[in-house]
Amino acid sequence: MNAAPPLKAFLLGGATATGKTELCHRLARNQPGASILSADSMLVYRGMDIGTAKPSPRQLAEIPYGGINLVDPDQPFSAGLWLQHAKTFASQARGPLFVTGGTGLYLRALTEGFNRPVPDEAVRARVRSLWNEGGIDAIRSHLPQSVVSLLDDPGNPRRLMRALEVVLSGGDERAFLGGRVAVRRGRFPVLSRPREVLHRRIRLRAEGMFSGGLLEEVRALRRRYPVWSETAGSAIGYAEAVAFLEGRLGLSEAVDRVAARTRQLARRQETWLRHQADAVWLEWGDESPEEMAQRVQEVWEQDGPVALA
């Protein structure tokens, strides 16, 4: 284990609905022994297939996939759990390892690792109850000013709570220093689409989910798991499907909402990749899949695989 060579992988980034899953699969299929690790925070949920645009059963049977179907929708999940799984999966790779996904935090974790205290359940519960009782002010009042001043967005409850967790776990200002730790271990190709094209694809995907059985999937899932975890329950498509099934949203409103949230997600993902990663942007316009695969391959050959933490 300690003699293992440093792990490396070929990354392919891109916002949702750009077509990266399909393209990565196509590229990996030609490589003997290849496996694919998904870096996507929603593909980890078992049974949530249609709304998350998971690789098809056929694709899953063709190539070993990691990062998919790790927990049930009623279970909590975290980037830490994903990383743990990812490391195991990567170490078991027998051939080239490919990583594709749009969850920036996961990509960063994979290439940079984490260097802050691991969240402790008791500490987390304490912070949560502070938040429930006193809101953001309660959280802020328990944080040293020196830590608050290092945060980019001191009005963000989620990040304030995490900061408090770090502090209560023994971390100090130093844990928040160092500025950006970008995914700089290597350049990697990032797929994009012209905005109008992406929006059209997202629209079609949203409509396709509902006509493709999303409601049935959700109905069955709810029968089996009456209460979902916060993360699974807020997944795009699933939150809206539940709202529709409970009569809180009309069908066309639900479809619109899914499309809008997906567009917003894609924009945030592109922002992340633009500024937090060392991306080689490949815009996919009229090119055929073969042509795009070729261009991705060229970037991989030129820059080599990215080292994992």
Q: Which residues bind RNA (CB under 7 A)?
A: 16, 40-43, 51-53, 76-80, 82-83, 102-106, 108-109, 112, 114-116, 118-119, 124, 128, 131, 152-153, 155-159, 161-162, 166, 178-181, 195, 199, 230-231, 234-237, 260-261, 263-265, 267-272, 274-276
End-to-end CA distance of the chain: 15
Least Cα distance to 165 among 131, 198, 206 occurs for: 131
Nearest distance, CB of residue 94 and RNA, angstroms: 27
Nearest distance, CB of residue 36 and RNA, angstroms: 15
Choice between 187 and 205, CB closer to RNA: 205
How would you label 125-155 residue by residue, b for 16+ Cβ within 10 Å and e otherwise? eebeebbeeeeeebbbebbeeebeebeeeee
Nearest distance, CB of residue 74 and RNA, angstroms: 14
Nearest distance, CB of residue 55 and RNA, angstroms: 11
Nearest distance, CB of residue 87 and RNA, angstroms: 11
Give the helix/strand (H/E) hosting 276: helix 251-276
212, two tokens: 């493709």
Q: Are strands 306-307 and 8-14 parallel, antiparallel or unpaired?
A: antiparallel
- Integer angstrom CA distances of residue 151 from 157, 176, 181, 292: 11, 8, 14, 39
